[in-house]
Amino acid sequence: MLNVNNIVKQYATHLALDDVSLSVEQGKIFGLLGPNGAGKTSLIRIITQITAPDSGEVIFNGQRLNASHISQIGYLPEERGLYKKMEIGEQVLYLARLKGMSSAEATKKVRYWFEKLEMGSWWNKKVEDLSKGMQQKVQFVATVLHEPELIILDEPFSGFDPVNADIIKNEILELNKKGATFIFSTHRMESVEELCDSIALIHHSKKILDGTVAEIKEKYRNNTYWVEYDGEYNLEQAAGIFKVVQKDELKDITKLKVQLEEGKTANQLLSALLPIVNIHRLDEVIPTMNDIFIDQVKQKN
């Protein structure tokens, strides 16, 4: 639904985005990853039409991005902000109407969401009277209220306590199920693995990696396994099948982290071990997104 094609954005002294392309599929949750200052926010600002790219184009549902798409995009910036002196209900209503909703429709929606997230009693409160977590909730509601097709969340869980973070996560999944497409911008990898279907990694203004989470993980598997057993095994016998990366000897149990040699399979690893020791456990070590992220960023540095 969203295609970003060869975007370049130059600020006075530095290149914020250098020929970045990516594509977000309808109904998916897309993770936009990268260390601080990589260019994530610059890209989001282009998608939300806050700024325009120097070259390249953004295609939204087959059309070149234009003002009519504003109402179809919801954006929760990393730097949250609301009018401090304005009442909550009025404020959310105002933001929804600026997205093009009619007054009656917006009122209905605000009531629905306030009810749903147990914020009913906040209507006449001012933002400055709310806790930070409560403000985040209000802001989330303001972002999704106009039922945008594309919802862009910049660090959505920062500032939430675990309980509220969970509530918000469930709301995101529910909206996703109903068809909303999400873009997550974050540098916190746990949430990415849980929620995202695909990701793009941006570093130093360039996209250095993208694809579905499954694909990427597949790509970064390197035939490493954890094996647990009891018994004596002479590691020299393993030559040609696997090599030991790490060895922990506990009371009765030995834990080995091994990497298979080129072309060998887990079955061959087991065949080698089975006759000699009692196997307790065999796990493939799949790199976490965090590992991949750190690995990639380090490589590029």
Partner 1 sequence: MTFLLTRLNKKINVMNKILLIIQREYLSRVRKKSFILMTLLTPLIVGCFYGLLIYFSIQGASSTNNKIAVVSENKTLTEKLASTKNTSYVYVNKSLAEMKSNLGKDGFDYILYLPEFSLDAPAGIQLLGTKQAGLAMNSKVVDDVENTIRIQKLKESGIAQEDLDKLKSSVNIDNKKIDETGKEQDSSAGATTIIGSAAGILMFMFILIYGIQVMRGVIEEKTSRIIEVMISSVKPFQLMMGKIIGIALVGLTQFVLWILLSATISTVAVKVFVNKNDIPQSAVSTLKAKVGSSIEKQVTDDGPIAYVQKSIANLDLTKIIMVFLFFFIGGYLFYSALYAAIGSAVDSETETQQFIMPVMMPLTLGYVLSLSVVTNDPYGTIAFWLSMIPFTSPIAMMVRLPYGVPDWQLALSMALLVIGFIGTVWIASRIYRVGILMYGKKTSFKEMLKWFTYKN
Minimal distance in Å, beta carbon 159 to partner 1?
13
DSSP string, 250-270: -SS-EEEEEEEPTT--HHHHH
**The token pair that represents 125 in the structure block:** 């409160």
Minimal distance in Å, beta carbon 99 to partner 1?
5
CB 64 within 8 A of CB 5: no
Nearer to partner 1, 117 or 150 (CB): 150
CB 38 within 8 A of CB 205: yes
Minimal distance in Å, beta carbon 200 to partner 1?
21
Minimal distance in Å, beta carbon 38 to partner 1?
17
Nearer to partner 1, 114 or 140 (CB): 140
Taking Cα atoms as reference points, which of 60, 69, 35 lies closest to residue 155? Answer: 35
Minimal distance in Å, beta carbon 40 to partner 1?
14
Nearer to partner 1, 29 or 73 (CB): 73
**The token pair that represents 111 in the structure block:** 């009531």
CB 218 within 8 A of CB 64: no
CB 78 within 8 A of CB 155: yes
Nearer to partner 1, 96 or 297 (CB): 96
CB 152 within 8 A of CB 48: yes
Nearer to partner 1, 14 or 221 (CB): 14
- DSSP-derived 3-state class of residue 78: coil
Minimal distance in Å, beta carbon 5 to partner 1?
18
Sheet holding 15-24, edge to edge: 15-24, 2-10, 55-60, 63-64
CB 196 within 8 A of CB 29: yes
Nearer to partner 1, 85 or 177 (CB): 85
Minimal distance in Å, beta carbon 271 to partner 1?
59
Distance between CA atoms of 48 and 83, rounded to whole angstroms? 20
Nearer to partner 1, 89 or 258 (CB): 89
Q: Binding residues for partner 1, per CB under 8 A?
A: 12, 45, 48-52, 54, 67-68, 70, 73, 75, 77, 79-86, 94-95, 97-100, 139, 142
